[in-house]
Chain A
Amino acid sequence: MGEKRNILLYIITWIAGLFFILLKGRWLEGLGSTMLDLDLILILIAYLYLRRGGVAAGCFAFGQGFVMDTFSGGFKGLFVFLYLISLACIALLSRFLHLDNPRGQVFVVGAAWLVEKVLFGAMLLTLGSQLVLEGKDIWLLILSLVVSAMAAPVCFSFLDRLKVAVSDSNHERKIVLEQH
């Protein structure tokens, strides 16, 4: 029964990721700047790595990257690669920083975000695109980094609570709460 609930949570995470990707373009247009980039996918990858392990997080990173590639005008496989590298970064950093506590979540997600963006820029330059950034864009990117990192503990906590909510038996609930 518990495993079924975990699968349900995994599916919810997938759906949330998909919705985020599908609505992100319009949302960014609405904000008036496409540089403001709260990367929820990265947070979800980190969460799944912590709670479901590397394979589940890897599948998620691959799948969401694929969807991102499909709906964006970029190179095929670019976001799959970026998200998988981000996962590797999260896996590496979680050996030194505790992904279980909010501080660790902030640092790991922040660092993964930074690595992803630097790699993204490097790949754009490598693949022959121009990288034009204005002064305002740098500030927006810094803001995005801070917001993404700070949003990580909030999302982790929300998903943990969701997990508790879908866990039906008291025993299971107790185990989940003890884990957190």
Chain B
Amino acid sequence: MRDATFFRKAWIWALFCIIALLLLSSASETQRQWNPLDRFLVEITSPIQKLFTRAVDAIENFWLDYFYLVDVRRENKELKKQVNQLMMQNTRYHELLSTYKRLQALLNFKQTFEEPVIAAQVIGRDPSGWFRSVIIDKGKEDGIQVDMPVVNALGVVGRVVGVSAHYSKVLLIIDQNSSVDCLLQRSRDRGMVKGLFPERCKVAYIVKSSDVIIGDQVVTSGLGGVFPKGLPLGRVIKVEDSPGELFKDIDMKPAVNFSKLEEVLVILKKSLAFD
């Protein structure tokens, strides 16, 4: 029984092999075209193959894209880091350039003085929010004394009102407690620049007969013993003739931009105000 089964299986295998050999022997170099059977088979299996291929492609693409995106993300991070570093460098260079320009202007301005001057940096601002003063990083040990004038390349900043060994307090000309004797450059009229909140000044005691127009340059008169003569204070921005008043109502925009005050020069000149 067992031998009969064995022989049946052997016959089937032999038949398959013979068919295969026949097919192989019948195939020639010129007969590569599909026969009807082939075509039928292809028509049936191809949709399945197509579906399978697409699925594999999709998985492959997804897989590759994922890894690709991981790389892109990494690359993006690196590039962002580089951009940030370059931006920081750029900012630093801009800062250095603007510092250089400011210091150059300050140096040019310094050379116009006969008196010795000392450069100082603004390290603190008035905490009250109402008064206008700054703290600078030079003090008594650097030769600074009370009432010394403080200027920058644009004009008058203020005067020293407090000195410690290494630091000083400077009262700005825009403070309400500040007054500077002034001169209108064009008309040569004399007056007094007083601080007016916020970041404006009033030019007081200019008589009504004086010829003042908007845009007139206001400079220090040299009187009062604190500021040397001819330093720019600002420009007239408002002129009004109020009836019943003795003097003209004049507002001045200071030459110095006090919100951007970083470096100043202290003129080491002994005050004559109280001498």
Contacts and interface: CB of A to CB of B under 8 A. Distances in A.
Contact of A73 (B175, B196, B197, B198): B175
Contacts of A26: 124-125
Contact of B127 (A24, A35, A36): A24
Contact of B177 (A29, A68, A73, A79): A73
- The winner among B124, B130, B169 for most chain A CB atoms within 10 A is B130
Interface string B149-163: 000000000000110
B30 interface: no
A34 B129 contact: yes
Nearest to A121: B130
A129 interface: yes
- Chain A: interface secondary structure? helix
Contacts of B259: 29
B126 A71 contact: yes
Interface string A1-40: 0000000000000000000011011101100001111000
A142 to B, nearest CB: 15
A72 interface: yes
Contacts of B169: 70-71, 73
A15 to B, nearest CB: 15
Given A26-B124, A130-B196, A73 B129 contact: no
Interface of B: 124-133, 135, 161-162, 169, 171-172, 175-177, 196-198, 259
Interface of A: 21-22, 24-26, 28-29, 34-37, 68, 70-74, 79, 120, 124, 129-130, 132
Given A25-B124, A71-B169, 17 more contacts: A25-B127, A26-B124, A28-B125, A29-B259, A35-B129, A70-B162, A71-B126, A72-B127, A72-B130, A73-B126, A73-B131, A74-B128, A74-B177, A79-B128, A130-B197, A132-B196, A132-B197
